[in-house]
Amino acid sequence: MDDFTDRLKTALLGTADGSLAFLGNFEVEERWALGEHTLPRLSAAGGTAVVNHMDEFALLLASGDDHVVLKAAPDPDFLAYLRELGVDLPTVHVVAGSDPGRTVTADALADPVLVARLRELAARGVRLTAHGVSDVEEDLARAAGMPLAAPDSATCKAVNSKVYSRRAADELGLRQPAGWACETVDELRAAFDGARALVAAGHKVVVKEAFGVSGKGIAVLESDRRMDRLLGMIAKAVDRSGQPRVAFVVEDWVAKRTDLNYQFTVARDGGVRFDFVKELHTEGGVHKGHRMPARLSPAQLAELADTAQRLGKKLASDGYFGVVGVDAMVDPDDGLYPVVEINARHNMSTYQARVQDRFVGEGQIALARHYPVRLTRRLPFAEVRSLLDGLLLDRAGGTGLLVNNFATVNAGHRAATTFDGRLYGLLVGPSDESVAAVDDEITARLEARS
């Protein structure tokens, strides 16, 4: 069987026989953004605990001879469910004294016993891999004497900037919305002048922080007054900080029919492999997950595969190797915008790749999504399994939900409080209709849960 993790190891280590220690440090962009000038934003710290417990996704990316560092021990019944499916689980190392507000990497650094254990693994040749590499992951690698199977943090930060994405697409002659990459206040002022003309012509224009993530760090420029206010705030922040460099992208908000996400892997030797493309699934304008396979023509698929090769070579020339996810769009006339944003790190789709290889049969449809749950107490996996009896996937090629992260359900738990969680999974079936039927039934049972 073609195994994604074997391919990943070959790219990162030069051999599929090596062993990796995985860190699921989601939203590493928050670390990359430290010290950068940002747009005004409301605080959104409420979901931090859930995001940090997304580290459990790494369980299904690692193989049986790998290791995963987690913030909390997985629910034993969840592990039993995965084993029943035939998943070869990695060795799990749980941090002591986990802090809900910290990433798994920061938790690990604060645990001397775990650091010592990683040092022992390093002596056996295990190498560290992360969702994305910042200075914190480098600190852990140094403390544990475990080399990173990744480029250095400066390289990772540089190629993940939206400014880099914009300029790379310009350099390669790839189609993208009208826009500007800005690294000085003067460049931003010139971009806003260009944006004024677009707004006057009835367009919507957005300004994006270089390291914004999960919908944060974006502002709509709908009037001259709004642009003047934002430009003034950024200019004042630059003057106060003494840091003249900024990093923003200003772009026309173009019409689209579909959002896409595709992934490729860049090997240490510069080789590029196109992995897959997925289609954003929405209902009533609300993002519900990713559909696979994407409904694209052979010509569209060929264009994305060619773009992946060109982007991969560009990234390799700039010192990057590893997983790359790219956001793209299909316009209303079926043309492609093949590069909206480059994410040179693991993506949500990365964590689905291994189970997709194993459990989504030929001709089947899969939908990756999550279900919100409102709780007043911890919810055990055994209870969820009973509640969703007959709806969980029980074999490769079957129909149902494969749960691929359970830690996020109870991540916000506090004694005597109400909290929100998320149940993540991969819905699999022979058709869109069958997947939708299972989806609707799962939603109904979760909502009816007392």
Q: What is the DSSP string of 249-288?
A: EEEE----SEEEEEEEEE-TTS-EEEEEEEEEEEETTEEE
Angle at 395 between CA 61 and CA 436, to 5 degrees: 90
pLDDT confidence of residue 110: 97
Quick one: what percent of the chain has pLDDT higher than 70?
Answer: 97
- Helix, strand, coil percentages in the chain from 3-state DSSP, rounded to 5: 40, 25, 35
11-25, 39-53, 387-401: least confidently modelled range: 39-53
Query: E-assigned strands of 102-198?
Result: 127-130, 179-182
Instruction: Reply yes or no on whether the pLDDT at 191 is more than 60.
Output: yes
Count of other CB atoms within 10 angstroms of residue 113: 10
SS3 351: helix
Query: How many residues are there in the chain?
Result: 450
Is the backbone of residue 303 left (phi > 0), alpha (psi -120 to 50) or beta? alpha
Predicted pLDDT of residue 214: 78
CB atoms within 10 A of CB 301: 15
Pairing between strand 400-405 and 272-283?
Answer: unpaired
Q: What is the pLDDT of residue 1?
A: 55
The helix (run of H) or strand (run of E) holding residue 447 is: helix 432-448
| Rounded Cα–Cα distance for residues 286 and 288 (Å) | 6
Mean pLDDT over the full length of the chain: 94
Give per-residue pLDDT as tens, 274-284. 999 999 987 66
Rounded Cα distance between 219 and 80, Å, is: 45
> For residue 365, what are the β-bridge partners?
429
3-state secondary structure at position 68: strand
What is the average per-residue pLDDT within 124-136? 98
Question: Is 294 exposed, middle or buried (CB count within 10 Å of its CB: 0-12, 13-18, 19+)?
Answer: buried
Residue 136 pLDDT exceeds 60: yes
Q: How many CB atoms lie within 10 A of CB 446?
A: 16
Q: 3-state class of 5 per DSSP?
A: helix
DSSP 60: G
Question: Which among 200, 188, 201 has a CA at the least distance from the CA of 250?
Answer: 188
In angstroms, the CA 280 to CA 296 distance is: 12
Dihedral sign from CA coordinates of 415, 418, 420, 426: positive
Instruction: Check if the beta carbon of residue 418 is closer than 8 Å to that of residue 375.
Output: yes
145 pLDDT higher than 60: yes
Rounded to whole angstroms, the Cα distance separating 158 from 2 reads 32
> Is the model's pLDDT at 438 over the cut of 70?
yes
Please give the structure tokens belonging to residue 217.
């760090």
Segment among 41-55, 113-127, 144-158, 428-442 with least mean pLDDT? 41-55
Residue 285 is predicted with a pLDDT of 59
Angstrom distance (rounded) from CA 189 to CA 355: 47
Helix (H, G, I), strand (E, B) or coil at 430: coil
Distances from the Cα of 81 to the Cα of 63, 374, 443, angstroms: 16, 23, 21
pLDDT digits (tens, 9 = 90+) for 208-233: 999 988 778 899 998 899 999 999 99
Instruction: Read off the pTM.
Output: 0.94
Confidence class for position 46, pLDDT limits 50, 70, 90: low
429 forms beta bridges with 365
Give 287's strand partners: 282
Predicted pLDDT at 2:
74
The mean pLDDT of 29-33, rounded to a whole number, is 95
- 299 by DSSP, 3-state: which? helix
pLDDT at residue number 289: 83
Note the pLDDT of residue 286: 63
Q: Would you state the pLDDT for residue 284?
A: 63
Using the predicted structure, report yes or no on whether residue 415 has a pLDDT greater than 70: no
Q: What proportion of the chain, given as a percentage, has pLDDT over 90? A: 90
Q: CA separation (Å) from 292 to 122, 340, 349? A: 37, 20, 10
Whether 42 shows a pLDDT value over 70: the answer reads no
> Looking at the predicted structure, is the pLDDT value of residue 252 above 80?
yes
Q: For residue 219, give the nearest of 205, 233, 235, 234 by alpha carbon.
A: 205
Given a cut of 80, whether residue 292 has pLDDT beyond it is: yes
DSSP 148: B
pLDDT at position 122 is 98
pLDDT at residue 215 in the model: 78
